Amino acid sequence: MDWKKLLAYISGSVDEDLLLRNEYLVTENRILRAQIKGRQRLTDGERKTLAEIGKKLGKKVLAEVASIVKPETILAWHRRLVAKKFDGSKNRTYPGRPKIDAEVEDLIIRLAKENRSWGYDRIVGALGSLSYKVTSPSAMSSNATASLRPLSAKRRLPGGSSFARTWTSWLQRIFLPRRFGRRADS
């Protein structure tokens, strides 16, 4: 016997065996579906699996085999999968700084409440010594510090702001009445 005829005979018998198995599974599936009452809910993973296999089978074969949902629905699931794959959502970035972790934000609030005289730079420095990397602008713009009322300059420094202290001392030196024939700064 020629090897080509032998190969055709073997492959034909294998195909016939697969067709019989598929026919049995389709019939068994229809019988079981007839016994289930109500609508069958599928998870996203199950939909994905059915859509991938259904696309390979094609609409005509799906019309014969599919019993859970319509072939059009399975092919629509596949179209959505393909559209989702190429929509670029994995590579999408959003403008602005990345958000601060909730743990770090809680630490910022705690440090700001416990140390009312500290500025943002000092809070960032304290977080840096605790091995947290936070920048001063991100500490300022975080929701944590937005809820805190900033302290006025007079409450932060004993003599007011440094500009006010400098200006006051300069005015006192210039306009201070002369004592014993000399100005106060000399």
Whole-angstrom distance, CA of residue 122 vs CA of residue 3: 85
Ranges of H-type helices in the chain:
3-35, 44-57, 59-65, 71-85, 102-114, 120-129, 136-141, 143-146, 153-156, 162-175
In the chain, domain spans? 3-85, 96-151, 152-186
Distances (CA, A) of 24 to 13, 15, 21, 57, 65: 17, 14, 5, 17, 11
Check residue 69 and give its pLDDT: 86
**Phi, psi (degrees; rounded to nearest 5) at 111:** -65, -40
Model pLDDT, residue 154: 45
**83: its two tokens:** 């559209």
pTM given for the model: 0.41
pLDDT of 160 reads 55
pLDDT of residue 153: 44
pLDDT in tens, the chain (186 residues): 676 666 666 776 667 777 788 888 888 888 888 888 888 888 888 899 889 988 988 888 888 888 788 899 999 999 998 888 887 777 777 777 677 888 888 888 888 888 877 878 888 888 889 888 888 777 777 655 655 655 544 445 455 557 777 777 777 777 765 554 555 554
Please tell me the distance from the alpha carbon of residue 75 to that of residue 90, in angstroms, as a whole number: 24
